[in-house]
Amino acid sequence: MRKTTFKLIFAALLSAAVPLSYAQSTLSLEPAYDPATANSEMMPIKQMMLALYTDIIKTGTGAVAVGERGHILYSNNMQDWTQSVSPTRSLLTNAFALNNNVWAVGHEQVILHSSDGGSTWSRQYLKLDAFGPLLDVLFLDAQRGFAIGVEGAILSSSDGGVTWTESVITDKTVEAAAVEVAVVDDADLSVASDDMGVDETPPHLNAIARSTLGLLIVGENGAVFSSTDQGASWVRRSLPYNGSMFGVITLDDGSMAAFGLNGNVFQTSDLGASWQKLSSDTDASVMGGTAASNGRAVFVGARGVVLTKGSNTNLLAKFVFQDGGSLAGVLPISDDEFVVVGENGIKTFKPERK
């Protein structure tokens, strides 16, 4: 039986938690009401601050948080937040900013875009009959971007998201890529084949990031793919763990860190060719992370876990934010204070160091 990632289970539960008034409005409105194409409900900011958010990102002028029912908040100081009118009520799963160009993705494979740091938004893409959601988005520049999701789905754009081309990463395309760029050996390919099986569907792709060496995608069941030609081809990599990775970030020292189930965090300096495990001292799933200065990073996850990584160390300091619930994203305000988002909304956390 195919395993379903914790991230997808979490998202499915949230998307099911729709107020009765929403369901009733579906029956009463003419023409038929579809949450995927309806503008988000505008609510008092105190109520919005307590909604569920799945990601928070830094923009050119501040920060943007995205989450349930298409909710989007933006801020210039990460303290005072304003709700944006979002052109969907679908659950948004992740976002990406290139200065003040911001993209968000989610269920029904919706892709939203803002050119003003998250204040106003337009819908670029939607697939109502999609098998599953898009789970992450990345742009190389203002024109070239990727959105990834379930069963190997990868969408690409060369015009800033105005149009998108659908494709799928499979073992077949990865094997062809390996021959083309000649960076993986037979052992890597055999591991990939054994992990997925000949007849199984492609793995869910959970996160994508970019370093100076290329692009890296992580997903379910230890799936990792890399590209050194800006996404034209992909190579299957091996991870020393068969569990799902929910995210990947690029540190300012050029290395990358992948994180996921059971407190697992791994670091690579060669685009996934080799990995080093970071000691987390937790079995809580790690759901979000962000880079800080001097090779430092902070990760967050289930049960309010917050993990901080210092410079030149493989040890992660563990803290617990009791009021945070399950945490999905984080941004640093300073060296010892963070904005975190998750099931209990948007909050500020300052670890008490012993």
Query: Cα–Cα distance between 268 and 248 in angstroms, integer?
Result: 10
Lowest mean pLDDT of 31-45, 94-108, 311-325, name the range: 31-45
Whole-number pLDDT of residue 75: 97
Whole-number pLDDT of residue 8: 52
Do the beta carbons of residue 331 and residue 58 sit within 8 Å?
Answer: yes
What percent of the chain is modeled with pLDDT above 90?
76
Q: Is position 307 within any domain?
A: no
Determine the longest span between alpha carbons in the chain, in angstroms. 60
Asked whether residue 236 carries a pLDDT value surpassing 70, the answer given is: yes
Total of domains in the chain: 1
Whole-number pLDDT of residue 15: 40
Q: Helices 171-181 and 186-196, interaxial angle, to 10°?
A: 170
Burial of 127 (0-12, 13-18, 19+ CB in 10 A): middle
Asked whether residue 327 carries a pLDDT value surpassing 80, the answer given is: yes
Query: Cα–Cα distance between 156 and 234 in angstroms, integer?
Result: 13
Q: Is position 264 within any domain?
A: no
255-299 pLDDT, tens digit each: 999 999 999 999 999 999 999 999 998 999 999 999 999 999 999
Do the beta carbons of residue 57 and residue 97 sit within 8 Å?
Answer: yes
Asked whether residue 192 carries a pLDDT value surpassing 60, the answer given is: no
Query: Cα–Cα distance between 29 and 354 in angstroms, integer?
Result: 57
Query: Cα–Cα distance between 211 and 25 in angstroms, integer?
Result: 46
Q: Is position 279 within any domain?
A: no
Strand partners, 157: 145
Q: Is position 18 within any domain?
A: yes
In sequence order, which residues have a C-beta less than 8 Å from that of residue 9 and are 6 or more positions away?
Answer: none
Please, which pLDDT band fits residue 179 given cuts at 50, 70 and 90? very low
Burial of 112 (0-12, 13-18, 19+ CB in 10 A): buried
Domain that holds residue 55: 1-134
Q: Is position 297 within any domain?
A: no
Q: Is position 105 within any domain?
A: yes
56-83 pLDDT, tens digit each: 999 999 999 999 999 999 999 999 999 9
pTM score over 0.75: yes
Whole-number pLDDT of residue 170: 72
Asked whether residue 14 carries a pLDDT value surpassing 60, the answer given is: no
Q: Is position 129 within any domain?
A: yes
150-177 mean pLDDT? 86
Whole-number pLDDT of residue 299: 98
329-344 pLDDT, tens digit each: 999 998 889 999 999 9
Whole-number pLDDT of residue 185: 30
107 or 173, higher pLDDT: 107
Q: Is position 203 within any domain?
A: no
Compute the mean pLDDT over every residue in the chain, rounded to the nearest whole number: 86
Asked whether residue 30 carries a pLDDT value surpassing 80, the answer given is: no
